[in-house]
């Protein structure tokens, strides 16, 4: 039965997320879009996180794509049948769906969620270049290990857990590259571009193992039909090549967009790396929490 191939729980969760987003994040009017903070303060409490139409489009696109990857028959195909679909599913989830959702979130909401001391300390550490690279590269590498692939094929719980971990690793990388967390101690524009180029090389380096392997690495996929009628080895080679090309296209494309944006801002006399009030406020919060209170 086709309906049985859909993950109803994941679909309901996606619908709940969309409902909550639409409920609390109204569209900014053209007149108010230039002053987001004052607009937020003038709204009812449950509508304090206004967004632009572009942000809403990003968020909804990311959630819909994520639901397709995790709740549709494509998820079962990736888990049990084909290594190419499995790898492309993971790459798309981390490099496309995750950043779309993050770009759609209001910065005021991100600032509020990450404001507690413990969360701020953890996120500020993980979004440094080296920890973010280790988390992202390590997670992607682990997702390609034969025992992990075997376990996720045999258990829906392991499969769901793997997807959650991949999303979390993708969030760590994209929060670093896109500078979405408040605070002044973040990567410069040049640093972000270098960071993105590094992510295009390191995390997907294991794909070369798939491209040049002379025997099947994933027994769980051997006895299933592969796309284009390929052999198990041919399917691995295609998976490695497509995953590498897709990751290069997305990450290098993002770096090029950042370069073009800097050039455009400089031509118009705008600061390409402005310090916002939310950045200053977060630094004041950090200083206050580090300073011991006197009796």
Sign of the alpha-carbon torsion through 90, 173, 97, 228: negative
| Percent of the chain's residues with pLDDT above 70 | 87
Whole-prediction pTM value?
A: 0.86
Q: Look at residue 254 in the predicted model and tell me its pLDDT.
A: 94
Mean pLDDT of 128-141: 93
Q: How far apart are CA 73 and CA 115, in angstroms?
A: 38
Q: How would you classify residue 145: left for phi > 0, otherwise alpha for psi between -120 and 50, otherwise beta?
A: beta
Q: Nearest CA to 97 among 189, 170, 176?
A: 170
Q: Look at residue 7 in the predicted model and tell me its pLDDT.
A: 75
Structure tokens that stand for 107 in this block: 């910065």
Q: How far apart are CA 183 and CA 225, in angstroms?
A: 50
Q: What digits encode the pLDDT tens for the residues 137-187?
A: 999 999 999 999 999 999 989 999 999 999 999 999 999 999 888 876 778
Structure tokens that stand for 156 in this block: 């829906």
Element (H, E) at 235: helix 232-267
Q: How far apart are CA 38 and CA 294, in angstroms?
A: 34
In this structure, are residues 199 and 177 in contact, taking their beta carbons and an 8 Å threshold? yes
Local confidence band at 293 (pLDDT 50, 70, 90 cut-offs) = low
Q: Nearest CA to 193 among 272, 283, 139?
A: 272
Q: Look at residue 80 in the predicted model and tell me its pLDDT.
A: 87
Domain ranges of the chain: 2-175+186-268
Question: Among 30-44, 61-75, 101-115, 203-217, which is the least confidently predicted range?
Answer: 30-44
């Amino acid at each position: 039965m086709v309906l049985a191939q859909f993950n109803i729980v994941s679909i309901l969760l996606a619908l709940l997320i969309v409902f909550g987003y639409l409920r609390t994040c109204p569209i900014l009017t053209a007149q108010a879009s230039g002053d987001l903070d004052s607009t937020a303060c003038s709204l009812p409490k449950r509508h304090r996180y206004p967004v632009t139409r572009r942000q809403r489009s990003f968020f909804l696109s990311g959630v819909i794509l994520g639901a397709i990857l995790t709740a549709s028959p494509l998820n079962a195909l990736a888990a049990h049948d084909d290594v190419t679909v499995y790898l492309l599913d993971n790459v798309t989830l981390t490099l496309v769906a995750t950043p779309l959702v993050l770009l759609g979130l209001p910065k005021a909401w991100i600032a509020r969620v990450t404001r507690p001391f413990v969360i701020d300390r953890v996120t500020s550490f993980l979004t440094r270049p080296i920890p973010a690279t280790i988390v992202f590269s390590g997670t992607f590498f682990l997702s390609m290990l034969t025992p992990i692939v075997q376990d996720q094929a045999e258990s829906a719980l392991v499969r769901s857990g793997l997807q959650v971990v991949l999303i979390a690793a993708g969030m760590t990388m994209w929060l670093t590259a896109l500078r979405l967390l408040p605070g002044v101690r973040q990567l410069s524009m040049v640093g972000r571009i270098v960071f993105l180029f590094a992510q295009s090389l390191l995390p997907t380096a294991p794909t070369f193992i798939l491209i040049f392997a002379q025997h099947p690495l994933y027994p769980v996929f051997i006895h299933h039909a592969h796309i284009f009628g390929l052999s198990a080895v041919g399917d691995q080679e295609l998976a490695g090549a497509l995953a590498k090309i897709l990751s290069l296209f997305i990450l290098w494309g993002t770096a090029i967009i950042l370069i073009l944006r800097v050039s455009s801002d400089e031509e118009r006399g705008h600061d390409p790396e402005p310090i916002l009030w939310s950045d200053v406020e977060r630094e004041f919060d950090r200083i206050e929490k580090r300073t011991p209170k006197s009796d």
